[in-house]
């Protein structure tokens, strides 16, 4: 943890060297999801609800998934750009250090400009919460926090899986963006609006449904069956990181230097 905080401090200082550029990039990140949000707003002006979900309920999905994605992009960016370490041979340097590869790869890059996207998502989330009648108590607050954490773990897990492929392909594969960018776009809407096979895939294989859909069904009193399954669903999303880390270890074991 101490090493992680040192990486955090060093990279923050380096990015703040060019403050104007940093501020403009943050503003850009603020407006990217803003226009997506504006599109959704005008769509709900035309249609009152989607499959029984009103505008503010969908905005809860939007806020949670975008907060999770922006935090994951900020802190797991090292995995997203991991192919550079492989291609330049810099991963050799990481392997000879007396520290874990996970911490070092994470610490190789942080993308603090994602603060702009994070800020916009927090505003949307607060706006939605203030317009929905939810009787919040301590367990519900914990569930809401777990939903965001679950999303961070799922997105980070996908970044790790994509980085692991680089041990064999050298270059990064854009296919991973199907689940990162694509997952973010799909799950700003509730999972229930999609077909059954999509629902099953994103529940049992890549558990994006555990980030917002199932726990929100409980928070919004939309569930008709056992509450426990809806309550613990964010924990299942967090557990997704375990097989991803195991796959990473297998990838490290098969690493062959490019000799750069």
Provide mean pLDDT across the span 35-60: 88
Q: Chain-wide mean pLDDT for the chain?
A: 85
What's the confidence (pLDDT) of residue 259? 64
What's the confidence (pLDDT) of residue 260? 58
Indicate the pLDDT class of residue 64, thresholds 50, 70 and 90.
Answer: very high
Q: What tens digit of pLDDT does each residue of 140-187 get?
A: 899 999 999 999 999 999 999 988 888 888 776 677 778 778 888 888
Indicate the pLDDT class of residue 254, thresholds 50, 70 and 90.
Answer: confident
CB atoms inside a 10 Å sphere around CB 112:
20
Per mean pLDDT, which range of 60-64, 132-136, 151-155, 249-253 is the poorest?
132-136
Instruction: Copy the structure tokens of residue 3.
Output: 């090493």
* H, E, C per residue of the chain: CHHHHHHHHHHHHHHCCCHHHHHHHHHHHHHHHHHHHHHHHHHHHHCCEECCEEHHHHHHHHHHHHHHHHHHHHHCHHHHCHHHHHHCCHHHHHHCCCCCHHHHHHCCCCCHHHHHHHHHHHHHHHHHHHCCCCCCCHHHHHHHHHHHHHHHHHHHHHHHHHHHHHHHHCCCCHHHHHCCHHHHHHCCCCHHHCCHHHHHHHHHCCCHHHCCHHHHHHHCCCCCCCHHHHHHHHHHHHHCHHHHHHHHHHHHHCCCCCCC
Provide mean pLDDT across the span 103-130: 87
Please check whether residue 194 is in contact with residue 171, taking contact to mean a CB–CB distance below 8 angstroms: no
Q: Please tell me the pTM assigned to this model.
A: 0.88
Provide mean pLDDT across the span 192-197: 88
Provide mean pLDDT across the span 56-67: 91
Q: What tens digit of pLDDT does each residue of 213-247 get?
A: 889 888 888 877 777 888 888 898 899 999 999 99
Provide mean pLDDT across the span 20-38: 84
Check residues 223 and 252 and name the one with the higher pLDDT. Answer: 252
């Amino acid at each position: 943890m101490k090493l992680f905080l040192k990486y955090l401090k060093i990279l923050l200082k380096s990015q703040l060297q060019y403050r104007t550029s940093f501020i403009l990039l943050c503003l850009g990140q603020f407006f990217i999801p803003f226009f997506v949000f504006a599109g959704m707003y005008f769509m709900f002006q035309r249609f009152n609800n989607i499959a029984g979900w009103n505008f503010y309920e969908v905005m809860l999905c939007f806020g949670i998934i975008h907060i999770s994605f922006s935090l994951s992009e900020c802190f797991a960016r090292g995995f997203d750009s991991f192919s550079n370490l492989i291609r330049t041979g810099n991963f050799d340097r990481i392997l000879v250090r007396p520290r874990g590869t996970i911490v070092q790869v994470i610490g190789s890059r942080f993308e603090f400009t994602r603060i702009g996207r994070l800020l916009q998502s927090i505003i949307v989330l607060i706006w939605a919460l203030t317009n929905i009648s939810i009787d919040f108590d301590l367990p519900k607050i914990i569930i809401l926090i777990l939903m965001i954490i679950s999303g961070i773990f799922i997105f980070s897990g996908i970044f790790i899986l994509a980085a692991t492929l680089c041990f064999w392909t050298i270059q990064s594969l854009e296919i991973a963006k199907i689940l990162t960018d694509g997952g973010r776009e799909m799950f700003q809407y509730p999972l229930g609006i999609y077909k059954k096979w999509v629902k099953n895939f994103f529940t049992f294989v890549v558990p994006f449904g555990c980030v917002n859909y199932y726990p929100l069904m409980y928070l919004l009193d939309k569930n008709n069956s056992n509450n426990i399954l809806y309550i613990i669903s964010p924990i299942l999303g967090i557990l997704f990181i375990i097989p991803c880390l195991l796959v990473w270890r297998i990838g490290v074991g098969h690493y062959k230097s490019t000799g750069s």
